[in-house]
């Protein structure tokens, strides 16, 4: 499926995440033009030059950018990565206040310059900011949403693929709820190919002996994997100061679903209305993404335990929204 002709992706923020997303979008040919904005004029100019110098190798893409917000004008998709940086040991929710105020000023200006765009929030805490951006923009939730647990779900699939020895493309599993400490895997719907994780066992080798790792999953292992996914970002941040490559790739994937009008199912974070009893908070659930943004959210069956976890995640976000006056 080809990209929309003359499509333009604007990225707000030329930090580690924004530039990784720009690079990923260029090499994946996610958009015809990538425009990068940042208030740091020297930094954004250097990043644009560095990216532009490699466009011989990236197909029919061009790079523009600068410190004038007009660089986003006419964009089909605007991805917002600007905000306070997450420090080692700091939760995503602890960054909320500063980033909400950034969005309060920024969103009306962005909508003025790109009135027809779909806006995707990547800045953390992404669920809180998805609510804030939707309120400050005045746009429907379908056109203003967060990257949510797309990356978390990729982390989960990678861990499962390593465990069972199959390609990650054949692992079907999602993280839902908050992009943060109350997130959880939707184990009841997880599959390896057509087989549920609960029933999965690797095929025995030719000698009849069980291959390495060929034991069924246990509840303890499920819990351990969920914790590893939840803490993955903290481990990366502790070691290198930021997460950037994987979120750049996952952000580019969301952009492609929009610009290519795919109808792809991705767990993005949007303001919900009576989704399994939850309203007025943004949480990640499987959603159909096309040129309009979120075409619809999918009503997925939850187990009783998963329903309780989802309600807990909603309560966690609602408390944060209340404290910021966003409820």
Bridge partners of residue 294, in order along the sequence: 289
Active site residue 53: no
Q: What is the dihedral of CA 261, 264, 267, 270, to 10 degrees?
A: 30
* Cβ-contact 153, 253 below 8 angstroms: no
Between CA 225 and CA 150 the distance in angstroms is 17
* Cβ-contact 173, 197 below 8 angstroms: yes
HEC states along 177-196?
Answer: ECCCCCCEECHHHCEECCEE
The β-bridge relationship of strands 171-172 and 77-80 is unpaired
The sign of the dihedral angle between the CA atoms of 54, 34, 79, 97 is positive
Marked catalytic residue, from 53, 87, 179, 312? 179
DSSP element (H, E) containing 293: strand 293-297
Between CA 51 and CA 36 the distance in angstroms is 10
DSSP secondary structure code for residue 85 in this structure: P
Between CA 322 and CA 319 the distance in angstroms is 5
Residues with active-site annotation = 179
């Amino acid at each position: 499926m080809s990209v929309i002709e003359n499509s333009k992706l604007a990225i707000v923020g030329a930090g580690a995440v924004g530039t990784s997303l720009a690079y990923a979008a260029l090499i994946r040919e996610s958009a015809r033009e990538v425009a990068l904005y940042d208030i740091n004029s020297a930094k954004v100019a250097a990043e644009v030059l560095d990216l532009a110098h490699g466009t011989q190798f990236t197909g029919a893409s061009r790079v523009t950018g600068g410190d004038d917000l007009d660089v986003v004008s006419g964009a089909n998709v605007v991805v917002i990565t600007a905000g306070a940086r997450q420090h080692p040991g700091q939760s995503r929710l602890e960054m909320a206040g500063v980033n909400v105020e950034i969005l309060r000023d920024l969103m009306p200006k962005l909508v003025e310059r790109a009135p027809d765009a779909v806006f995707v929030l990547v800045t953390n805490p992404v669920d809180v900011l998805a609510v804030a951006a939707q309120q400050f923009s005045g746009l429907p939730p379908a056109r203003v949403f967060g990257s949510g647990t797309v990356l978390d779900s990729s982390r989960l699939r990678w861990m499962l693929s390593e465990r069972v020895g199959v390609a990650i493309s054949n692992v079907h599993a999602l993280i839902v709820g908050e992009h943060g400490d109350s997130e959880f895997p939707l184990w009841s719907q997880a599959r390896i190919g057509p087989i549920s994780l609960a029933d999965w066992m690797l095929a025995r080798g030719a000698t009849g002996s069980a291959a390495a790792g060929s034991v069924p999953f246990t509840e303890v292992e499920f819990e351990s994997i969920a914790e590893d996914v939840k803490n993955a970002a903290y481990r990366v941040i502790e070691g290198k100061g930021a997460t950037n490559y994987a979120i750049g790739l996952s952000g580019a994937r969301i952009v492609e679903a929009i610009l290519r009008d795919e109808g792809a199912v991705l767990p993005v974070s949007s303001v919900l209305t009576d989704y399994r009893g939850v309203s007025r908070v943004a949480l990640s659930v499987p959603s159909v993404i096309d040129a309009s943004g979120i075409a619809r959210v999918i009503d997925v069956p939850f187990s009783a335990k998963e329903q309780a976890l989802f309600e807990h995640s909603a309560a966690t976000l609602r408390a944060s929204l209340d404290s910021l006056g966003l409820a």
